[in-house]
Amino acid sequence: MLRFLTRRTVAAAVTLVIIAAVTFFLFFAMPSDPARLACGKVCPPETLAQARHNLGLDQPIFVQFLEWLAGVFVGRDYEGLGHCSAPCLGYSFVNRAPVFNTIIDRLPVTISLTIGSSVIYLIFGVGTGVIAALNQGKALDKIASVASLIGSSMQIYFVGTLAMYFLVFQWQLIERPRYVPFTENPLEWAYGLLLPWLVLAMISTANYTRMTRSTMVEQLSEDYVRTARAKGMSGRTVITRFALRGTLSPIATIFGVDLAVLIGGAIITETTFSLQGVGRLSIQSVVNSDLPMLMATVLLAAAAIVVFNIIVDALYAVIDPRVRLS
What are the tens digits of pLDDT across the range 251-260?
888 898 888 8
Predicted pLDDT at 112: 95
Predicted pLDDT at 294: 85
Residues 247, 176 share a domain = yes
Query: Where a domain ends, among 84, 113, 136?
Result: 84
With beta carbons less than 8 A apart as the criterion, state whether 173 and 93 touch.
Answer: no
Provide the Cα torsion 43, 49, 54, 59; round to 10°. Answer: 130
Residues 294, 199 share a domain = yes
> What value does the mean pLDDT take over residues 299-322?
81
The residue that leads in pLDDT, 139 or 91, is 139
Domain of 16, in residue numbers: 2-84
Residue type, 305: I
Q: Is residue 91 part of a domain?
A: no
Residues 110, 16 share a domain = no
Residues 178, 59 share a domain = no
Residues 147, 36 share a domain = no
Residues 190, 121 share a domain = yes
Residue 190: C-alpha distances to residues 197, 198, 260, 261 (Å): 9, 11, 21, 21
Residues 264, 127 share a domain = yes
Residues 124, 52 share a domain = no
How many domains does the chain fold into? 2
Q: Is residue 98 part of a domain?
A: no
The residue that leads in pLDDT, 280 or 60, is 280
Predicted pLDDT at 229: 83
Q: Residue 107 pLDDT more than 60?
A: yes
> What value does the mean pLDDT take over residues 230-234?
82
Q: What is the mean pLDDT of the chain?
A: 83
Percent of the chain with pLDDT over 70: 86
User: Of the spans 14-28, 38-52, 208-222, which averages the highest pLDDT?
Assistant: 208-222
The residue that leads in pLDDT, 32 or 229, is 229
DSSP per residue, 58-98: TS-HHHHHHHHHHHHHH-EEETTTEEEPSS---EETTTTEE
The residue that leads in pLDDT, 306 or 75, is 306
Predicted pLDDT at 120: 94
Residues 79, 114 share a domain = no
Q: Residue 80 pLDDT more than 60?
A: no
pLDDT band for 56, please (50, 70, 90 cuts): low
Q: Is residue 99 part of a domain?
A: no
Q: Residue 320 pLDDT more than 70?
A: no
Residues 128, 34 share a domain = no
The residue that leads in pLDDT, 60 or 159, is 159
Residues 179, 120 share a domain = yes
| CATH code, 270 | 1.10.3720.10
Predicted pLDDT at 21: 84
Q: Which of 103, 111, 266, 279 is nearest to 183 (CA)?
A: 111
pTM of the full predicted structure?
Answer: 0.83
Q: Is residue 262 part of a domain?
A: yes
Residues 110, 79 share a domain = no
Mean pLDDT lowest among 32-36, 213-217, 281-285: 32-36
Mean pLDDT lowest among 45-54, 61-70, 218-227, 240-249: 45-54
Query: Where a domain ends, among 84, 119, 145?
Result: 84
With beta carbons less than 8 A apart as the criterion, state whether 220 and 133 touch.
Answer: yes
Predicted pLDDT at 41: 63
Predicted pLDDT at 165: 92
Mean pLDDT lowest among 33-37, 269-273, 281-285: 33-37
